[in-house]
C-alpha cells in the first residue's frame, strides 16, 4: 500500500511518506514530513539522511551537509550516509573528504557495490587511474550486470589510451542498457580518439536519437569536421549552442569552422564568446591567438599566446608564439619559444622545422649586419664605395640614406649606370615615379643591362600611363606560355601595377615561415587567359597546378589567387589568399596532398584560408 495514502502517526511513518514524496518530486512536502519525523523522534538517523537528499535536490548544500553529519553522528557504522555525504563533498570540491567517506562505507560494508563505484569515480577525478579501475572492477565482480560500472571503467581505460579495453566495456554497458544515451556518447568518443570516425558518428547519431544533448552534438561536430563535412559540423555546433547557450567549448569549436568558412571576424566573435564564458581556459586563448595571427593582428595574437602560457604552458602555444615573434623580428624570443615547444614535445617535426627557420634568419640577419658594418667602414670617396654603402643602407631599410649614397656615387661618376638603377628602384618604392623612370632610363642606357631595372621600368611606365589616363596596350595574340622551372604564377590582369607588386611581395615575403616556389610571368599577351584556356597554353606537363593572378586576385581583400588544376581535371579551380599560397604550392608540387583536399577546405566564398591547428 502507498505510504503517502496513509495518515502518518509515527516518526517512522512520516519519514517513509517523506521519502516517497521526495522520489515523486514533491520536495516541499517531503521536507515537511522529515521535519515532523525529527520533531517526533530527534534521533531518527534515516530521516536526517533522507532530508539531506531533499535539501540537496533543492540546492541547499550546506543544509544537506549538516543533516548528513548528524546522520553519521547518530549511526557511525551505517554505510549509506557516508556514501551520500561523500558524493556531496565531491560536488563541493572536497575530494579528500569524499574519499575518506567512501573508505568508511566500504569498511562497514565490504560488499557495498555502489560504494566501490562512487569511490572509483572519485579516484578517477583525482587522477588515480589504477585505483579507479580496481574499484570499478570490484563493483563488477560484486554485481556483474552493473552497467554504470562498466561505463565508468571504460572512461578510465580511454584515459589510459586502452581504447580496445574501453570499447569492450562500453559494448557490455550498452548490451545491459541499450537505451542509455550517455553510454553511446562515451563509446563514440572512444571511437573518435581511436580514429574510427564512422563508428563514432554512428554512436553519436544513436545517442542524439535517444536523447539530444549539447555535448553529444559538439562531439559529433568534431567528427564531421575531421571528415571534412564542415557544413554538418557547423550545424551541430549551432544545435549544441542552441541547447546550451553557455557551452564555451562549442563556441570555440565553431570558431575553427567559421575561420575556414567565413573568415576572421566571424571566427573571432565565437572565440571572444568562448573566453567570456571560460576566461581561464588556455586552449581558447591559443585558438583566438591563432585567428588573430592569421588576420595579421600580431600584437593581439601575442597577448593571447602570453595569456595561454600563463594559464597552462603547452608546446603548441609556445610554437605559435614563436611564429609571431619571428614575424615581429624578435628572433631571440622566437628561438627561445621554439626551444621550449621542442622540450615539451620533442617528437613533433613541425616544431623543429620552425626552429630551423629562426636559426637561418638569425644567420642571415647577422650576415647582413656584418656586410652593413663592413660597407660603412668604406670611405665615401669613390663611386663604387658609395654604391656599396647605398646597398647596405637599403638592406637595413634606410631608404633616404641609400638614395643619398647613390646620389653621391653619381656625383663622383656621372656614368655609373648601376648607381642610377639602384636609386631608381628606391624612388619607385617611394612613389617618385618621374624621377624613378629617369634614373632607370639612364641606367639602361649606360649599362650594364640589369633585367630588374628593365622590368621595374616597365612597371613605372604603366603606372605613369595610368595616372595620365592611358591604358597599356595588350597583345592578345595566342602563344604558348614559356616553360617555368617552378610552379607558374601567370598574371592575366594589367589594370593595377601597384596591386600586382603588392601581391608579389606577399607571396615572396621572406619573413613567412615557408615560401612558395613560383615563377611569375607578367606578359600582356596573356591578358584575360581563363582557367579553362590555361592548360592548353602551358609548354610542359611537369607541374600539376598553376596560379592565375586576375583582377579579383589583385583587387579583393586577401588577394585570392586562382589555383588551376593542370593534370587530373584540367581547368577546375579554387582560390587561395596570397599569404597561404605557399601551403598549396608546397603540398601540391610534391603530391603531399591532393587538389581535392584543398578544394574541400575552402570557405563558402570558394577561398582557401589555411588549415587551422587545434
Give the count of alpha carbons within 13 A of 9, CB side only: 1
Higher-scoring residue by pLDDT: 503, 314 = 314
Determine the number of helices (DSSP H) and then strands (DSSP E) in the chain: 31, 6
Q: How confident is the model at residue 446 (pLDDT cuts 50, 70, 90)?
A: confident
**Cα–Cα distance for residue pair 595/566, rounded to 1 Å:** 10
Cβ(501)–Cβ(459) under 8 Å? yes
Distance of CA 579 to the CA centre of its chain: 17
Cβ(47)–Cβ(21) under 8 Å? no
Phi/psi at 169 (nearest 5 deg)?
-70, -40
What is the spatial order of strands in the sheet that 607-608 belongs to? 518-522, 487-491, 545-549, 560-565, 573-577, 607-608
Count other C-beta atoms under 10 Å from residue 184's C-beta.
25
Q: How confident is the model at residue 614 (pLDDT cuts 50, 70, 90)?
A: very low
Cβ(57)–Cβ(77) under 8 Å? no
Cβ(254)–Cβ(270) under 8 Å? yes
Given a cut of 90, is residue 451 above it in pLDDT?
no
Given a cut of 90, is residue 40 above it in pLDDT?
yes
- Looking at 1.25.40.10, 3.30.750.210, 3.30.200.20, 2.60.120.590, the CATH number of the domain 378-467 comes to 1.25.40.10
**Cα–Cα distance for residue pair 426/432, rounded to 1 Å:** 9
Question: What is the pLDDT at residue 285?
Answer: 96
pLDDT one-digit tens code per residue, 463-521: 787 677 644 444 444 578 888 878 899 999 887 877 888 888 888 775 666 678 888 89
The dihedral built from the CA positions of residue 453, 459, 460 and 465, taken in this order, carries a sign that is: positive
pTM: 0.59
pLDDT one-digit tens code per residue, 533-557: 998 888 777 788 999 999 999 988 8
Higher-scoring residue by pLDDT: 462, 89 = 89
Count other C-beta atoms under 10 Å from residue 256's C-beta.
24
**CA neighbor of 327 nearest in space, from 297, 348, 285:** 297
Question: What is the pLDDT at residue 466?
Answer: 65
Cell numbers linked to 300: 593581439
Question: What is the pLDDT at residue 613?
Answer: 44
Taking domain 487-608, whether its CATH number is 3.40.50.800 is answered by: yes
Given a cut of 90, is residue 576 above it in pLDDT?
yes
Q: Which residues make beta-bridge pairs with 522?
A: 491
Higher-scoring residue by pLDDT: 48, 570 = 48
Enumerate the domain spans of the chain: 378-467, 487-608
Cβ(484)–Cβ(543) under 8 Å? yes
pLDDT one-digit tens code per residue, 2-29: 544 567 889 999 999 999 999 999 999 9
pLDDT one-digit tens code per residue, 226-280: 998 989 999 999 999 999 999 999 999 999 888 877 767 788 999 999 999 999 9
Given a cut of 70, is residue 591 above it in pLDDT?
no
Rounded to a whole number of angstroms, the distance between the first and last alpha carbons of the chain is 59
Cβ(476)–Cβ(535) under 8 Å? no
Question: What is the pLDDT at residue 592?
Answer: 62
Q: How confident is the model at residue 453 (pLDDT cuts 50, 70, 90)?
A: confident
pLDDT one-digit tens code per residue, 115-131: 999 999 999 988 899 99
pLDDT one-digit tens code per residue, 341-393: 999 999 888 888 888 888 887 887 777 678 788 878 888 889 899 988 988 88
- Over range 316-323, report the average pLDDT: 94
Cβ(548)–Cβ(537) under 8 Å? no
Peptide bond into 448 cis (omega under 30): yes
Question: What is the pLDDT at residue 258?
Answer: 87
Amino acid at each position: 500500500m502507498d505510504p503517502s495514502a496513509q495518515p502518518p502517526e509515527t516518526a517512522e511513518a512520516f519519514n517513509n511518506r517523506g521519502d516517497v514524496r521526495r522520489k515523486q518530486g514533491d520536495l516541499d512536502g517531503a521536507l515537511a514530513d522529515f521535519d515532523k519525523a525529527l520533531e517526533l523522534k530527534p534521533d531518527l538517523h534515516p530521516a536526517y539522511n533522507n532530508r539531506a537528499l531533499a535539501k540537496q535536490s533543492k540546492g541547499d548544500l550546506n543544509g544537506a551537509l549538516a543533516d548528513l553529519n548528524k546522520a553519521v553522528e547518530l549511526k557511525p557504522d551505517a554505510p549509506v550516509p557516508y556514501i551520500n555525504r561523500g558524493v556531496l563533498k565531491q560536488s563541493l570540491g572536497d575530494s579528500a573528504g569524499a574519499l575518506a567517506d567512501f573508505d568508511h562505507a566500504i569498511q562497514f560494508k565490504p560488499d557495498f557495490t555502489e560504494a566501490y563505484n562512487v569511490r572509483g569515480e572519485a579516484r578517477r577525478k583525482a587522477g588515480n587511474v589504477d585505483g579507479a579501475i580496481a574499484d570499478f572492477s570490484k563493483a563488477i565482480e560484486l554485481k556483474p550486470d552493473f552497467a554504470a560500472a562498466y561505463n565508468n571503467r571504460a572512461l578510465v581505460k580511454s584515459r589510459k589510451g586502452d581504447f580496445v579495453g574501453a570499447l569492450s566495456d562500453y559494448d557490455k554497458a550498452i548490451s545491459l542498457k541499450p537505451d542509455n544515451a550517455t553510454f553511446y556518447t562515451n563509446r563514440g568518443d572512444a571511437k573518435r580518439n581511436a580514429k574510427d570516425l564512422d563508428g563514432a558518428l554512428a554512436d553519436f547519431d544513436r545517442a542524439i536519437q535517444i536523447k539530444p544533448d549539447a555535448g553529444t552534438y559538439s562531439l559529433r561536430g568534431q567528427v564531421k569536421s575531421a571528415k571534412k563535412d564542415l557544413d554538418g559540423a557547423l550545424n551541430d555546433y549551432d544545435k549544441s549552442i542552441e541547447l546550451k547557450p553557455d557551452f564555451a567549448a562549442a563556441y570555440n569549436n565553431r570558431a575553427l569552422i567559421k575561420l575556414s568558412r567565413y573568415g576572421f571576424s566571424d571566427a573571432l566573435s565565437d572565440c571572444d564568446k568562448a573566453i567570456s564564458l571560460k576566461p581561464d581556459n588556455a586552449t581558447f586563448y591559443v585558438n583566438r591567438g591563432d585567428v588573430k595571427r592569421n588576420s595579421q593582428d600580431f600584437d593581439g595574437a601575442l597577448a593571447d599566446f602570453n595569456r595561454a602560457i600563463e594559464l597552462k604552458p603547452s608546446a603548441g602555444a609556445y610554437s605559435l608564439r614563436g611564429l609571431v615573434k619571428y614575424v615581429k623580428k624578435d628572433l631571440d624570443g622566437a628561438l627561445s619559444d621554439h626551444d621550449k615547444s621542442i622540450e615539451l614535445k620533442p617528437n613533433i617535426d613541425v616544431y623543429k622545422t620552425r626552429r630551423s627557420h629562426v636559426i637561418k634568419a638569425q644567420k642571415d640577419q647577422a650576415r647582413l649586419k656584418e656586410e652593413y658594418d663592413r660597407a660603412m667602414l668604406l670611405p665615401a670617396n669613390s663611386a663604387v664605395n658609395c654604391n656599396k654603402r647605398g646597398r647596405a643602407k637599403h638592406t637595413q631599410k634606410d631608404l633616404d640614406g641609400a638614395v643619398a649614397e647613390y646620389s653621391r656615387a653619381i656625383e663622383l661618376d656621372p656614368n655609373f649606370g648601376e648607381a642610377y638603377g639602384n636609386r631608381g628602384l628606391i624612388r619607385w618604392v617611394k612613389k617618385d615615379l618621374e624621377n624613378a623612370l629617369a634614373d632607370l632610363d639612364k641606367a639602361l642606357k649606360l649599362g650594364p643591362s640589369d633585367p630588374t631595372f628593365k622590368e621595374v621600368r616597365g612597371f613605372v611606365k604603366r603606372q605613369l600611363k595610368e595616372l595620365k589616363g592611358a591604358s597599356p596596350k595588350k597583345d592578345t595574340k595566342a602563344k604558348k606560355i614559356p616553360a617555368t622551372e617552378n610552379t607558374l604564377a601567370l598574371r592575366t590582369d594589367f589594370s593595377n601595377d601597384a596591386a600586382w607588386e603588392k601581391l608579389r611581395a606577399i607571396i615572396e615575403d621572406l619573413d613567412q615561415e615557408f615560401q612558395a616556389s613560383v615563377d611569375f610571368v607578367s606578359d600582356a599577351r596573356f591578358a584575360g587567359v581563363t582557367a579553362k584556356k590555361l592548360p592548353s597554353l602551358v609548354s610542359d606537363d611537369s607541374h600539376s597546378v598553376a596560379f592565375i593572378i586576375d583582377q579579383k586576385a589583385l583587387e579583393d581583400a586577401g588577394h585570392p589567387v586562382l589555383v588551376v588544376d593542370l593534370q587530373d581535371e584540367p581547368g577546375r579551380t579554387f582560390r587561395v589568399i596570397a599569404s597561404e599560397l605557399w601551403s598549396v604550392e608546397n603540398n601540391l608540387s610534391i603530391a603531399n596532398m591532393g587538389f581535392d583536399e584543398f578544394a574541400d577546405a575552402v570557405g563558402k566564398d570558394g577561398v582557401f584560408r589555411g588549415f587551422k591547428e587545434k
